């Protein structure tokens, strides 16, 4: 009897402890698909960012070794035009980034307007929906807004990083062969700062998700009031 009282704990208690030890969330595993996609995008963007950082450091080291007269010397005309094009490319990055997100916002707004018009047409129809069971079965599935916006955000970030990397490459060309170290350094620094500002993170994605022009989230509240109002109205 004493051995029964002082024995090992019941298997249920041991099993629950094992579940508490092994059933917890692994910090290395990202369950959120949006966070996982943003981490993958950050890994891709790290390659051009590291390249631009290395180019900027190399040009800065060369500029530090050069004298003040070499830095302040006016570059040739072709080098000046290349540097001007590179700076314009850096400035156009924001416009292209916003344009891609704005197109997605406009597409969502058009889809919501079409859905509201369809719901109003169904609410005003006097026929019983049960009489035509295939009316709703043949509709194409609608893509969730979060997935569409994540794809647009990924595309906008990738295009902007490609443009900034191209501008930095032009800056390196101006600094190495165009005899304009100061211009090349300024271009590469501007591209690097823009990359840091465009770095894919959850906060910037949520800003693009909810704060994009013309794309306020309605939370699924648009179609329901139209249907409910149609049912409350007398025939």
Each residue of 26-81: pLDDT tens digit?
444 445 888 888 899 999 999 999 999 999 999 988 888 876 666 667 778 888 89
Taken in order 157, 162, 164, 165, is the CA torsion positive or negative?
Answer: positive
Share of the chain above pLDDT 70, in %: 58
Q: Compute the half-sphere exposure of residue 119: CA atoms within 13 Å on the CB side of its CA.
A: 18
Looking up tokens 């069971």 gives: 133
Pair 75, 180: CB distance under 8 Å: yes
The number of residues in the chain equals: 235
Distance CA 20, CA 145 (A): 36
The Cα-based distances of 93 to 19, 101, 188, 196, 198 in angstroms read 50, 13, 14, 13, 10
Cut 0.85: pTM above it: no
Whether the predicted pLDDT of 231 surpasses 80: no
The Cα-based distances of 7 to 13, 16, 74, 102, 171 in angstroms read 13, 18, 90, 68, 76
CA 76 to chain CA centroid, Å, is 39
Pair 164, 93: CB distance under 8 Å: yes
């Amino acid at each position: 009897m004493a051995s029964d009282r002082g024995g090992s704990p019941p298997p249920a208690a041991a099993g629950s402890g094992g579940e508490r030890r092994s059933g917890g969330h692994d910090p290395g595993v990202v369950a959120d698909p949006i966070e996982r996609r943003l981490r993958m995008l950050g890994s891709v963007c790290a390659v051009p960012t590291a390249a631009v950082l290395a180019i900027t450091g190399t040009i800065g080291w060369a500029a530090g070794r050069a004298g003040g007269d070499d830095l302040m010397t006016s570059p040739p005309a072709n080098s000046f035009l290349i540097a001007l094009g590179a700076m314009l490319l850096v400035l156009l990055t924001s416009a292209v980034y916003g344009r891609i997100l704005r197109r997605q916002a406009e597409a969502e707004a058009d889809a919501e307007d079409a859905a509201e018009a369809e719901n109003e047409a169904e609410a005003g129809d006097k026929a019983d929906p049960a009489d035509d069971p295939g009316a709703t079965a043949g509709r194409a599935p609608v893509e969730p807004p979060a997935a569409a916006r994540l794809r647009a955000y990924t595309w906008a970030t990738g295009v902007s990083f490609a443009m900034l990397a191209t501008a930095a490459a032009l800056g390196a060309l101006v600094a190495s062969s165009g005899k304009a170290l100061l211009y090349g350094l300024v271009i590469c620094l501007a591209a690097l700062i823009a990359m840091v500002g465009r770095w894919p993170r959850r906060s910037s994605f949520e800003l693009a998700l909810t704060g994009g022009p013309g794309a306020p989230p309605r939370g699924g509240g648009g179609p329901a009031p139209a249907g409910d109002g149609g049912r409350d109205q007398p025939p």
